[in-house]
Chains A and B, each alone.
Chain A
Amino acid sequence: MSPSLIITAYSLLFLLLFSVSLFVFIIVRRLVLEQRKVQFDRLYKQIEKDILEAISLLDPDFSLGVARKYGRHRAVLTRVLLDFGDIIVGEGRDQLRIIFNQAIRGRCLRGVASRRTTKRLQSIRLFIIFFDPVDSAFLFRLLDDKPIIKLAVINALARIPSPETMRQIFKAFEEDTGFTVQAYFNIIFGLGSRTEPLVKAFLNKPLPVDKLGLLVELVGAIPLQTLYEDVVALAGHPDKEIRIRVARTLGKLLIPKTVDTLIALSSDGAWEVKAQAVKSLGRMKNLKTLDVLERSLFSPFWYVRYNAGYGLAEIGEEGVRRLKEVAGQEEDRYARDMSVMVLNDMIFPGEAA
């Protein structure tokens, strides 16, 4: 036999063995998973029943009994605790915490140090749900882990909005770079108005544009109305992204004193800022803005005209009258068409909003 034939024959043999093993693996894996699922579901139902009883009895001894009974089936118990932990609050969660501390906590502590990210994340999620202030120092140490773990930890810390944890969250926000910055929005947003002093302090810091923009956006999203002056101070920021966000935030805060700032922004050099300012002016429902909105209907920029049209519609009777006027004129067909569209859309409930 020639060498090429031998090589081909061995290749075929190897590939054949590999393919057959792979096929067997897929089938066996499927069988094992199906089997496990049946056992898992059966056990899940049992644990679920006992946990529901523990939640209704509110008896710590009963909860301890549940923990002992299912201590051996940690995977299923963990799953049940994760599912219930997210929806049960108050005294019911205290019972779940008893079960967690008795049966899972030790394993979770080991899980946090696991090399497998999934395991680390699952453990941290449990710590997030059953957070105990004594764990905060331990969690602070995890802030040096990889970004996804760090985020999970910060999420855990956000559950205990103490001054120290909030300081840690903002410190991490200041130091972090990259895609995680966006995730802080969710975390800080969840903390609500408690963050006001820190947001105020950070708005006055020299932060990169993405972080500053995020904070401005937060002021509008939470909303933190007392910080409107800090936001107005950024209306002249050289970066247009910040000016856009300022305009948007002011449209959410709806402080009458900020109308002049928005009117100034509506004649900004960047059309994106103009469009956002006009949109926010519409939300203000202030008769003072009627002229600006009507003028904006004649803007060469489509989005400015669009926002101006819907802005006038939001103001109500007087706005609609102005829209009808523009719809009746012939000098600028773009302004006319936009007005006609807005008026037409107002027939459908919800469209003009």
Chain B
Amino acid sequence: MSDVLHAILHSVNIVILIYFFLINAFYLLFTVLSLFGLFRHRELTTYISFKEIFRLPLVKPISIIAPAHNEEKTIIESVNSLLALEYPVFEVIVVNDGSTDQTLGALVRSFQLEKSRRVFRKVVDHKPVKGIYTSPSHPKLVVVDKVNGKKADAMNAGLNISRYPLFCAVDGDSLLEKDALLKMVRPFLEDPEKTVAAGGVIRLSNCCMVKCGQVQEVRLPCNALARFQILEYFRAFLGGRIGMSMLKSVLIVSGAFGLFRKDIALQCGGYRVESIGEDMDLIVRMRRHLHNMKRPFEIRFIPDPICWTEAPETLKCLSRQRNRWHRGLLDTLLHNKSMLFNPRYGITGLFAMPFYFVFEMLGPFIELLGYIMFAACITLGLVNYPFAVLFFLVAVVLGTLLSLLSILLGEYSSECYPRRQDILILTLFSLLENILYRQWLTLVRVLAFFDFYRGKEEWGAMQKKGFAQAR
């Protein structure tokens, strides 16, 4: 009996070890690819001036769609940031998704909105629209007041009301850099036929000083949780997504900031209202649709355009957010499971989907299994303590190395934090995140799995502090 137990424990340990090496090898590969991607991007931008893009007569107009639900603290600053964007032709559509606070009232007061009799084409379904507001003083702004659906529902309403061939999805609490759209539209100019979507970098605005909808002074957040998240965002955007983009395997264009071709999104039926992670879901369904149509396409990730958003600063808010993200991932992967390992879907079916399935979806379980196995081995007295300690240290240092590499990527992409001590603080936090924070997140994601199967539909609303105002 004991031999059988030993053999089982040994086999499981081997599987976990292989998993550990594979996942880290992939992350290292993505980081190296990202480094190449960044250098290539810098070469291209040496030649292409964004002022020239502004003057190009062929630049396509963009509809910016910003769904907002109970965003009264940040909405005015966000809309100001959107209206101040540098782009030849664009409109800003704010969809007030049944807010119970003063979101609509604040918008009406600040932008002198008046009820309009605008008609629109209902191509995709959404909950009823209560009213459309326009502003004589801000002709680019349209505010849609609708019955509460979810974010996907609000996006669909925005899609129906939008007039332009490209749409940019942004969160109601996000700030965009002035030239973000000019940078983001570049792949659509280079290859208008193939490019169907592009994503940009998201950064955290906690503690940054904001003036007139623009971040004036970049600062490291004071909150420890937000600092951990900075590292996660660095790794995800600069390490992961640029690398995935190099492998033509981008499956997520963040809902906080992404540019899409409207015709393709509408061909896929717009956003799936039932989806939990509407951003990933749309991209996967776009990929599926285009593969089915046998149309060559590209989904690009641009390291430059920057969107600022507020990160949760309490464990409760963060766990809600991550719970929703993980449920969204599960929902999208399971909804499109026929694409998994399916050669018909090219690199999406053979690499991108399996990667997300094995390493992102099952990852928390395998990590938890590792902790359980460790506990079991301690109980059974099977732990080789020197090895266990060394292995733990290897895991911690490897995690820190990956974070340092993403900080380096940040330095190369000029998205660094200005003060030297910030690098020191971030390095320290990359060490600290391996103790408790990482394990806590694993648990949150495992619980999300059960919530998903229980059919939990909670959106995971976040308490907003609002942006710090620069003088």
Contact = CB atoms under 8 A, between A and B. Distances in A.
A30 B44 CA distance: 24
B191 interface: yes
B46 A26 contact: no
Interface in B11-65: 42-44, 46-47, 52, 56-58
Interface stretch (A3-11, A137-145, A228-236): A3-11
B43 A217 contact: no
A12 B404 contact: no
A41 interface: no
A255 interface: no
B326 to A, nearest CB: 29
Interface stretch (A51-59, A96-104, A343-351): A343-351
Nearest to A347: B136
Contact of A117 (B43, B139, B387, B427): B43
Contact of B117 (A30, A118, A152, A344): A344
A203 B420 CA distance: 59
Given A12-B394, A182-B192, A302-B121, A27 B423 contact: yes
B139 A350 contact: yes
Given A302-B121, A348-B134, A351-B139, A30 B411 contact: yes
A23 B404 contact: yes
B211 to A, nearest CB: 25
A121 B47 contact: yes
Given A182-B190, A341-B119, A26 B404 contact: yes
Contact of A121 (B43, B116, B191, B192): B43
A302 B121 CA distance: 6
Contacts of A186: 52, 56, 58
Interface string A114-131: 000110011001000000
A15 B387 contact: no
B47 A15 contact: no
Interface in A154-173: none
A340 B49 CA distance: 43
Given A348-B136, A348-B139, A350-B139, A179 B191 contact: yes
Interface string B382-407: 00101100110110011011001101
A336 to B, nearest CB: 9
A151 B387 CA distance: 58
Interface string B243-265: 00000000000000000000000
A19 B404 contact: yes
B292 to A, nearest CB: 22
A58 to B, nearest CB: 28
A148 B390 contact: no
A11 B394 contact: yes
B407 A26 contact: yes
B376 interface: no
B416 to A, nearest CB: 8
A26 B423 contact: yes
Given A9-B390, A30-B411, A118 B427 contact: no
Contact of A148 (B43, B163, B400, B423): B43
B94 interface: no
A27 B118 CA distance: 56
B47 A152 contact: yes
Given A8-B391, A221-B57, A19 B400 contact: yes
B358 interface: no
Contacts of B136: 347-349
Given A4-B387, A121-B46, A348-B136, A182 B58 contact: yes
Nearest to B192: A182
B393 A12 contact: yes
A338 interface: yes
A349 B135 CA distance: 11
B8 to A, nearest CB: 19
B47 A151 contact: yes
B189 interface: yes
A16 B139 CA distance: 57
Interface string A303-331: 10010000000000000000000000000
B193 to A, nearest CB: 8
A156 B126 CA distance: 51
Contacts of B193: 210
A18 B43 contact: no
B420 A30 contact: yes
A29 B47 CA distance: 25
B95 interface: no
A118 B42 contact: yes
B57 A338 contact: no
B47 A340 contact: no
B420 A27 contact: yes
Contacts of B192: 182
Given A15-B394, A27-B420, A351-B139, A148 B404 contact: no
A185 B405 CA distance: 40
Contacts of B386: 5
Contacts of A19: 397, 400-401, 404
Contacts of A217: 58
A90 interface: no
B117 A340 contact: yes
A298 interface: no
Contacts of A306: 163
B44 A148 contact: yes
Contact of A23 (B42, B117, B391, B427): B427
A287 interface: no
A198 interface: no
B176 interface: no
A16 B394 CA distance: 8
B118 A12 contact: no
A178 B393 CA distance: 50
A174 to B, nearest CB: 19
B408 interface: yes
A338 B58 contact: no
Interface in A22-42: 22-23, 25-27, 29-31
A25 B423 CA distance: 12
A186 B52 CA distance: 9
Nearest to A17: B397
Contacts of A210: 193
B411 A26 contact: yes
B237 to A, nearest CB: 18
Contacts of A338: 119
A18 B398 CA distance: 10
Contacts of A18: 401
B139 A5 contact: no
Nearest to B160: A302
A338 B121 CA distance: 11
B246 to A, nearest CB: 17
B190 A122 contact: no
8 contacts: A8-B387, A12-B397, A26-B411, A27-B424, A178-B191, A182-B189, A182-B192, A341-B117
Given A27-B420, A31-B420, A152-B47, 9 more contacts: A19-B397, A26-B411, A30-B423, A118-B42, A148-B44, A148-B47, A151-B47, A334-B119, A341-B118
